[in-house]
Structure 1
């Protein structure tokens, strides 16, 4: 069954997401970019809150390291800082670069420490075909396809149905969890579930006025939860 990821910014939003049945509480600051990072102290507070108030042990937390350039040491240190909060999954954005390998080598060390890493790929970027294999080899737990430009376009504006089916199969062939997100709303749900993602992520589509920088709307989360 496809699970529901809701991106939150604080304890108040985390409580709302938990109340309406989110499976994955994702810590992110939408004011700071596609994968804007929250302060470590805030991540720690929300992670502790979720662990104490979740309705079942299958409700997890994730947090982003921010919109960072693909610089190995910078990303490695931020992954360690975020992981120190005991968040369940750490999300790393793969922004455009000519050298992903150095970052993957560094991040493989954090994976060896037991940190569960999620690679966030962006629909606007053309990645080399072999990248998924390198991500798996580095020890990543999963892959998420998102959008870097929050302008209302979704991954469906960049990928054909056939390309998406292929992408989904390749992620699963590598035995990684598979997430889909990026300007998704209730109206996209029927098309998105066709690709059998492990989880679907929402922020703008479940916010007041469909504006990702505004607060969450519990009624919208409730509707999506019921449809899933």
Structure 2
């Protein structure tokens, strides 16, 4: 299981890498679950990270505006990163989700043909009528993405497992595998969630609050917390 650690500045890179993060995920926590960082922040993090450490960029909790998000994806892909992640916030149907993913993939790969695209949805998305986890995986595959992530909109209190239990999450992960997609889980996951994550076996598990003393916006990544997660998730 790869450990994705969300970082918000160049100053957090060394701690995340020292702790053993497999993927650095650049986001702006003040702009939402998958808030987009400024281009200069993305470039500074890519420069500070080891060349062999993949960097992912979130481009936002996207409204259903494929043209707008295609431009965002093109900009992110031009920063030398390995992943672009788009949150299907505004997509309500499979068709809308597929249109969004396709637009993002086409734009990003026009400047970086080997870049990997992750389509993200929300375990608590029913509260806003957002695309369902079942349709999310199909939209990701039909739109040409490389992987699919379930996250949460709510970032205070409840975690991913408060909104979806092991059975539906297991079905989501199985569907991703059937469709040839890399699978990822995130959403206020903590140390206590490690046993369940080990049972579910997503390809990637994403963390921010758990490695920042519980404060995703005001805290800073701590290398020892990342090490503890590595030991819990990959005990071998």
Q: TM-score under structure 2 normalisation?
A: 0.87
Alpha-carbon offset, residue 44 of structure 1 = 0.9
CA contact under 8 A between 1:70 and 1:95: conserved in structure 2?
yes
Equivalences for residues 61-72 of structure 1 within 5 A: 61-72=55-66
Which residue is 2:84 aligned to? 90
| Farther off after superposition, 193-202 or 86-95 | 193-202
Q: Is the 8 A contact 1:119 1:143 kept in 2?
A: yes
Residue in structure 1 matched with residue 157 of structure 2 by the alignment: 152
Q: CA deviation at 1:225?
A: 1.6
Equivalent in the alignment of 1:34 = 33
1:38-187 equivalence runs, <5 A:
38-52=37-51, 57=52, 59-98=53-92, 99-110=96-107, 113=110, 114=113, 115-126=115-126, 127-128=131-132, 129-187=134-192
Residues 1:186 and 1:39: Cα distance change in structure 2 (over 3 Å): same
CA offset at residue 14 of structure 1?
A: 0.9
Gaps of 5+ in 1: none
Q: Distance in 2 between matches of 1:112 and 1:62?
A: 15
Consecutive unaligned residues of structure 2, counting only runs of 5 or more, are none
Show CA shifts across 1:53-90 (max 9, x none).
xxxx3x31101012331211110000000000010000
Number of aligned residue pairs: 221
Match of 2:216 among 212, 216, 219: 212
Contact 2:88 2:121 in 1 (8 A): yes
What is the Cα deviation at residue 111 of structure 1? 5.9
Distance 1:143 1:189 in 2: 20
Hey, what's the Cα distance between the residues in 1 that align with 2:181 and 2:99?
Answer: 21
Residues of 2 paired with 1:4 and 1:179: CA distance?
10
- Alpha-carbon offset, residue 160 of structure 1: 2.5
1:24 pairs with 2:23 = yes
Query: Using a 3 Å threshold, how does the CA distance of structure 1 residues 37 and 159 change in structure 2: closer, same or farther?
Result: same
